[in-house]
Amino acid sequence: MAKRTLVETVINNEPVELLCEPRQSLLEVLRDELHMTGTKEGCLTGDCGACTILVDGRPVCSCLMLGVEAQGHKLETIEGLATGAELHPLQRKFLEHASLQCGICTPGFLMSAKALLDKIPRPTEAEVRYHLAGNLCRCTGYDKIVRAVLDAARESG
Amino acid sequence: MHEIHYEAPTSLEQAVGILAKHGDSARPICGGTDLLIQMRAGVRRPHYVVDVKHIAALTGIAFDPKSGLRLGAAAPCIEIFENATLRRHYPGLVEAAHLIGSLQIQSRASVGGNLCNGSPAADTTPALIALGAVARLVGPKGERQVKVEEFVVSPGRTVIQPGELLVELLIPPPPPHSADAYIRFIPRNEMDIAVVGIGAAITLEGDRCTAARIGMGAVAPTPLFAAKASQALVGKKFDAVAIENAAQLAIEQASPIDDMRGTAEFRRHLVGVLTRRTLERAAERARRN
Amino acid sequence: MAVKKEAHHKYRVVGTRPIRPDGIEKVTGRALYGADYYFPGMLFGKILRSPYAHARIKSIKFDKALKLPGVRAIVTADDLPEADRKPQQMGEQQVSPYYLSCNVLARGKVLYDGHPVAAVAATSPHIAEEALRLIEVDYEPLEPVMTADEAMKPGAPILIDDLRNQEEGPDQPTNVATHLQFKRGDLAAGFDAADCVIEREFRTATVHQGYIEPHASVGIWNPDGHATVYTCTQGSFTVRTLATKVLGMPEGNLKVVPSEIGGGFGGKTTIYCEPIALLLAKKTGHPVKVTMSRSEVLRATGPTSGIHERVKIGVTKEGRITAAQVWMAYEAGAFPGSPMAPGAMTVITSYDIPNLLIDGYDVVVNRPKTCAYRAPGATAAAFGVETVLDELAEQIGIDPLDLRIMNGAHEGTQQPFGPVFKRIGFIETCEALKASEHYNSKLTGANRGRGVAAGFWFNAGFQSSASVYVNQDGTASVVTGSVDIGGSRASMAMIAAEVLGLPIDEVRPVVADTDSIGYTDVTAGSRVTFATGMAVYNAAQDVVRQLKERAAKMWECTPDDVEFDNGVLRTRGDVLQPQQLTLKELAARFIRTGGPVVGRASVSTGGAGAGPAFAAICVDVEVDPDTGKVQILRVTIAQDVGTAIHPSYVEGQLQGGTAQGIGWALNEEYVYDSKGVLRNTGLLDYRMPTCLDLPAIETILVEVPNPTHPLGVRGVGEVSIVPPPAAIANAIYRATGVRMRELPMSPPRLMKALQEHRNSREGQAAAGR
């Protein structure tokens, strides 16, 4: 077994210490080491956004970051989006608008949408489409995803 | 992926020391958005990956109206397009930085990394060429400066020698009545590599063009400075005839290939279209400055 | 999102829009997809793939790889039994186990770039990958054959030595696996009767389903020969049948547990990782997880065929189609089995045409073996026909939708392959589109154009099983074997709730593994809400029958004296003293009336034609005249959906298919180099639409109930993908004057056509001077 490195990070507001190999991506660390499988692998090249998490509030493809690079940073993943038993407004709106079919892209979309609403609380449709362009969905044609994000913004604003 | 060692030096000296020690088997990582893909594909197999994002000299962005912009090689694109000063003074560079991959990529990818990756299609490189940017390298034998248009020597290869590190990009201050622009063509509206990308910076005194630089991406094995096309504009009235002349000269200089992103014929055609469009956009901005 | 209410809306739950029961797990990241399973001691498997499109394997050496620390086992085709060559009915498909096995692990020859050659199990995915680099394969490269045209030429290199077809005879090696023909009437007389005949030639590219979840399976092998595989598939029973055939084990020894599935669109109806994970698990004694990367998905799973098509159609000046001839060659990939047959069965079936000749060819080429993709075969086929119809409508000067309405198939029309349509909604669909605000709006601006097209998909039926369990508190669970790919659990729960008179949140739907429910065919062919929905309906009716028996026992009457309505059992007033019980009250007394109530049903609804669906689409585009780039400005799709159980998810199917059709039309294609190696192996260069590439997708649900289903359900999942490419081609023509006859209509291709068009116009203008 290759040498493992200690990484101290914060995931969904909890301090986490973990061991990983330097060659493991942050996506692999989340999934294979921490079994936080809510973050999905779609392409491993940063082209589909299924593995989107927030690093210090910015959306990042966790497949294009090494686990060791997480040292000292704050990570947010889909597992931390709801607060206790209460869903984030985006999660609720995705359900109400039937914004998911297979659901594999949903965690990534939700994290990208959260980054957007944290930055621009009342985005236009064009802004929503621009900010979600790094996330591919093959099921929905995006229509119901865009509606859900706009509705979540409307409700929170 | 093969086994790697990860180092995260906090000073330039340390970084150069590590890179010099391991030579070809070491490679710096900034955003990692190209390197990790290449390592997974087995295209690059460095044993030492040197994270340069903890070195202050590589992450700063400092603008001075007299000396211009010092752009740390590892500063992520998001910090460029979220910087109001840069948006005002270098809108072309900002639009290029805002086009690399998705927002997720722009959170990590840097202009310096984009350059060091050595791709002929890098979006920010033509914008840097248009601005007359110079790369500052530090290595075991000291430092040196290289013009950006001379930085890439072949696809994936640059002037960087073993042990050397790109520290920052030095960009002159924009002269009065000047502006830059960058436009690329992609088949979709986001998330593609440029089929052709054109950067232009021009200075207008009334209706005369007094300075012009055009950078071209994805039209040759390396990003190009369109010297003839640029020179042809200088000292002339900036009108449709001058623009068309520059576009034709740019097409003449391009030596594109057929690939999955476009045919050579289509690329040559796009060089003309985008040179016209980019010059017009830069001029429109310059007239306001 | 207008719903045209043709259906009689007498339902309480059906037609409403409840939150899907599995949604919460999907928005919180808890749902487990194929790659999300972890077991103690689990190993990771990776697959070595051919770098050649066509080569003979001379030898495989893996001593070095086995010595790498952490490597536990390596398998090749030698570890598989030599399977039966004769095609067998396996679920909905005819499959030769031998070809299937050769596709799982190459035997003797590799037939496409990415063809699996060997697989490694190791303690980490990285070690497994590094081990692949140490396996030495000696190949003898052969000349690749990349297109149907090349493969059909006399003297073309032969892919499969023993492939024969009836026409060429038993002594003639060939790349043509099948020639299919449908004939009707007198073709020559039909064309003679026409005032206007147009004949055109078309080509479409190989395109991939593009599901976001790569294939993933975990195999677990017990020493007693029983095994389990966790896998993302559209059909757990299909995996069981196919994998056991390939592995040479009794079907009952394998349990298939379907994970949540991250998209499939037909692409997950066969096996890839499953037998390899099981083989490695058998060899190592550990659970083994095999996952594909995106490049493996694109290189080696089944895309759909590129086709070459010739279409000739004649009409009278009044707009009556008198004859049609279609010739199509489909690229099957490395092994026989393109969707040529469904393509031929749908290509012109929307129209009532007296004289017809349809020829289809299934041709092997050095590309990955194709797999189903949403309305398999129909989209590429419709591209030609629907473009020629547009040209004909223009020639004779009638509205393109009127031409379709005038010739449209209706109840009683005989389909080219035999069956007669029951009640269908093609004409209603075209009329709904024609009446839409979009179609009647004015499109202004330079370089803009509007196009329409229609499409048909017959939808599958096949077999399904369902159980309905009533709990002691009067709630119920619905168990089916249909993998839920887009919200079908919601529909299953709604159908049971409708019958049982329960609120929707008191019915829990479950997708069971192959040991826990009766045989159920794949989630494909738009069949789940139709066929599994019918099984659920019947199982719920079985519950109602038993509830009546229990009540009758308590009330000392016969079950015929008991009525069930909206969750309440009553004695029939004209017979007995009035008595009544709610389902909940009765459930509390199951223990005293004969034990738990379990409703069961299975259905076999037949093959094609179970609930034909039609769509028509209207698209506005803007073309950049300098670059050839097409922007979709507005799109509206109307579809005959039968009774919409959950309208939001029905709309979702229309929108998703439209988006895929747009991707197919504009930018998606497999790009091979001259040696047959795939160049665009990632989602950067296999360009699926992002949300910036698409506008809002407007839907019109036309509800013409399906007479063969108790609730009027029609399959809705597929037909929406069929019309977009032709509609966009027709819109581009209106915007630019250029007819595009090759997909994708990508910027370089359209730009070239625009330049040629301008040059020829200038030439004509010069000649006229």
Q: Decide if A64 and B36 are in contact by the 8 Å CB cutoff.
A: yes
- Beta strand B5-7 pairing with B48-51: parallel
CA distance A52 to chain B (A): 7
Give the three-state DSSP class for C609: coil
Distance between CA atoms of residues C422 and C75, nearest Å: 52
What are the structure tokens assigned to C710, written together? 């108790």
Catalytic residue status for C718: yes
Confidence band of C609 (pLDDT split at 50, 70, 90) = low
**Chain C neighbors of A29, CB-CB under 8 A:** none
Distance between CA atoms of residues C448 and C736, nearest Å: 8
Using CB atoms, list chains with 3+ pairs below 8 Å to chain A. Answer: B, C
Q: What is the distance, to the nearest Å, from the Cα of residue B274 to the centroid of all Cα atoms in its chain?
A: 17
Q: Which domain holds residue B85?
A: 60-171
Residue linked to tokens 């955003």: B31
Confidence band of C608 (pLDDT split at 50, 70, 90) = low
Using CB atoms, list chains with 3+ pairs below 8 Å to chain C. Answer: A, B
C766, pLDDT greater than 80: no
Angle at CA of residue C215, ends C211 and C216, nearest 5°: 140
**Chain C neighbors of A101, CB-CB under 8 A:** 263, 485-487, 649, 652, 656
Helices (H), B119-239: 124-130, 227-233
Dihedral of CA B221/B225/B227/B229: which sign?
positive
Q: Decide if A115 and B103 are in contact by the 8 Å CB cutoff.
A: yes
- Cβ-based burial of C665 (10 A; exposed 0-12, middle 13-18, buried ≥19): buried
Q: Which of C506, C718, C742, C756 is catalytic?
A: C718
Cβ distance C701 to C639 under 8 Å?
yes
Distance between CA atoms of residues A41 and A104, nearest Å: 9
Cβ distance C429 to C612 under 8 Å?
no
Of C30, C123, C688, the CB nearest to A38: C30
Distance between CA atoms of residues C653 and C265, nearest Å: 11
Choose among C81, C313, C345: nearest CA to C197. C313
Q: Decide if B188 and C689 are in contact by the 8 Å CB cutoff.
A: yes
**Chain A neighbors of C233, CB-CB under 8 A:** none
Q: Decide if A63 and B49 are in contact by the 8 Å CB cutoff.
A: no
- Whole-number mean pLDDT of chain C? 95
Distance between CA atoms of residues C39 and B103, nearest Å: 35
The per-type count for chain C, helices as H runs and strands as E runs, is: 21, 29
Angle at CA of residue C124, ends C118 and C126, nearest 5°: 70
DSSP state of C455: E
C90, pLDDT greater than 80: no
Task: Give the pLDDT score at C3.
Answer: 46
Distance between CA atoms of residues C219 and C289, nearest Å: 6
CATH code reported for the domain at A5-80: 3.10.20.30
Residues constituting chain A: 157
C1, pLDDT greater than 90: no
**Chain B neighbors of A19, CB-CB under 8 A:** none
Which of residues 670 through 689 in chain C touch A, CB cutoff 8 A? 682-684, 688
Q: In what order do the strands lie in the sheet with C355-364?
A: C176-184, C355-364, C321-333, C307-315, C196-203
Per DSSP (E only), the strands in C505-572 are 507-511, 562-565, 568-571
Q: Decide if B40 and A44 are in contact by the 8 Å CB cutoff.
A: yes
| Other beta carbons less than 10 A from residue A132's beta carbon | 29
Distance between CA atoms of residues C413 and C422, nearest Å: 8
A118–B contact, CB cutoff 8 A: no
Distance between CA atoms of residues C740 and C467, nearest Å: 51
Cβ distance C613 to C641 under 8 Å?
yes
CA distance B122 to chain C (A): 14
Per DSSP (E only), the strands in C463-586 are 463-470, 476-480, 507-511, 562-565, 568-571, 580-582
Confidence band of C525 (pLDDT split at 50, 70, 90) = confident
Q: What is the distance, to the nearest Å, from the Cα of residue B29 to the centroid of all Cα atoms in its chain?
A: 17
Q: What is the pLDDT of residues B16-51, one digit of tens each?
A: 999 999 999 999 999 999 999 999 999 999 999 999
C26 versus C606: which is more confidently predicted? Answer: C26
Q: Decide if B187 and C751 are in contact by the 8 Å CB cutoff.
A: no
Helices (H), C573-722: 583-588, 590-593, 647-666
Strand partners, C109: C56
**Chain C neighbors of B196, CB-CB under 8 A:** none
C542: left (phi over 0), alpha (psi -120 to 50) or beta: alpha
At the fourth CATH level, the homologous superfamily of domain A89-156 is [2Fe-2S]-binding domain (1.10.150.120)
User: C-alpha distances in angstroms, C651 versus A92, A106, A143, C529, C701?
Assistant: 19, 18, 10, 14, 8
A57–B contact, CB cutoff 8 A: no
B203 and B263, same domain (yes or no): yes
Q: Decide if A66 and B8 are in contact by the 8 Å CB cutoff.
A: no
Distance between CA atoms of residues C382 and C350, nearest Å: 10
Choose among B49, B56, B98, B101: nearest CA to B77. B98
Using CB atoms, list chains with 3+ pairs below 8 Å to chain B. Answer: A, C
Q: What is the CA radius of gyration of chain A?
A: 16
Per DSSP (E only), the strands in C150-264 are 176-184, 196-203, 216-221, 227-231, 254-258
CA distance B89 to chain A (A): 24
Distance between CA atoms of residues C461 and C525, nearest Å: 8
A-C Cβ pairs (cutoff 8 Å, strict)? 183
Cβ distance C682 to A45 under 8 Å?
yes
Q: What is the pLDDT of residues A77-133, one digit of tens each?
A: 999 999 988 999 999 999 999 999 999 999 999 999 999 999 999 999 999 999 999
* Structure ipTM: 0.98
Distance between CA atoms of residues C406 and C321, nearest Å: 9
Residue C404 C-beta-side C-alpha neighbours within 13 Å: 33
Q: What is the pLDDT of residues C196-234, one digit of tens each?
A: 999 999 999 999 999 999 999 999 999 999 999 999 999
Task: Give the pLDDT score at C2.
Answer: 45
B266–C contact, CB cutoff 8 A: yes
Q: What is the pLDDT of residues C163-197, one digit of tens each?
A: 999 999 999 999 999 999 999 999 999 999 999 99
Task: Give the pLDDT score at C765.
Answer: 76
Query: In chain B, how many domains are there?
Result: 3
Average pLDDT over residues C491-499: 98
Do the domains at C1-31+420-459+608-769 and C463-604 have one common CATH topology?
A: yes
The amino acid at residue B35 is L
C123–B contact, CB cutoff 8 A: no
Distance between CA atoms of residues B218 and C692, nearest Å: 24
CATH code, domain with B15: 3.30.43.10
Helices C724-736 & C647-666 angle (0-180, nearest 10)? 50
Average pLDDT over residues A42-49: 97
Task: Give the pLDDT score at C704.
Answer: 94
Q: Decide if B6 and A5 are in contact by the 8 Å CB cutoff.
A: yes
Task: Write out the residue limits of the CATH 3.10.20.30 domain(s) in chain A.
Answer: 5-80
Strand partners, C480: C466, C511
Confidence band of C4 (pLDDT split at 50, 70, 90) = very low
Q: Decide if B8 and A71 are in contact by the 8 Å CB cutoff.
A: yes
Dihedral of CA C154/C156/C157/C162: which sign?
negative
Q: Decide if A139 and C652 are in contact by the 8 Å CB cutoff.
A: yes
Distance between CA atoms of residues A22 and A34, nearest Å: 15
Q: What is the pLDDT of residues C260-307, one digit of tens each?
A: 999 999 999 999 999 999 999 999 999 999 999 999 999 999 999 999
Residue linked to tokens 């009278």: C316
Can you list the residues of chain B whose pLDDT is less than 50? none
Distance between CA atoms of residues C656 and C721, nearest Å: 8
C767, pLDDT greater than 90: no
Q: What is the pLDDT of residues C113-132, one digit of tens each?
A: 999 999 999 999 999 999 99
B192–C contact, CB cutoff 8 A: yes
Give the three-state DSSP class for C386: helix
Confidence band of C606 (pLDDT split at 50, 70, 90) = confident
Cβ distance A136 to A157 under 8 Å?
no
In degrees and rounded to multiples of 5, residue C335 shows phi and psi of -130, 155
- Identify the CATH class of C463-604: alpha beta
Choose the final residue of a domain: B142, B171, B200. Answer: B171
B283 and B188, same domain (yes or no): yes
- Identify the CATH class of C1-31+420-459+608-769: alpha beta
Distance between CA atoms of residues A40 and A107, nearest Å: 8
**Interface mutation vs chain C, best among A40, A138, A147, A151, most C CBs within 10 Å:** A138
Cβ distance C671 to C113 under 8 Å?
no
B255 and B219, same domain (yes or no): yes
